[in-house]
Amino acid sequence: MKALLPVYCRLLGYFVIALALFIPIMLYITGKMTDANLLFYKECSKLLMMLGALMIIFALTKNENKETEVIRNKAVRNAMFLTVFFIFGGMLYRVAKGDVMSVDSSSFLIFLILNILCLEFGIKKARVDGLFKRERR
């Protein structure tokens, strides 16, 4: 999977995710968030987090090469597996608890966050492996 966005979109994506986390807190402190508009702000925060996560996933890295594309593909594969595992665990928990009212509506966001975690881990692991391979020579 090739990157589509410039390098600075990675940092911008993290900024958007942080913004999506702290704006609801600030709105609550200032009294702008009420029970009437809570769902609206919750969904807007989830959309902002999804946008930020997609920016991180599709942004170029500083030293983009073929290995980074392989890492990005492996991150997507691992994130799919972990997301299915997480959602299945949540389903089992709701069945065991007997909860028929709650529904998980954030599975795509969970997938994106797990994808970012797998991508970042893969990139850092490749960098560390490269450092140790250079030292052995």
How many structural domains are present in the chain?
Answer: 2
Residues of the chain short of pLDDT 50, as ranges, are none
| Residue 105: predicted pLDDT | 72
106: domain range?
A: 63-136
- Tens digits of residue pLDDT in 27-45: 999 999 988 998 899 889 9
- The answer to whether the CB of 111 falls within 8 A of the CB of 80 is yes
The answer on 40 and 83 residing in a single domain is no
| Residue 65: predicted pLDDT | 81
Which of 10, 41, 60 represents a domain boundary (last residue)? 60
| Residue 19: predicted pLDDT | 94
C-alpha 35/C-alpha 44 separation (Å) is 15
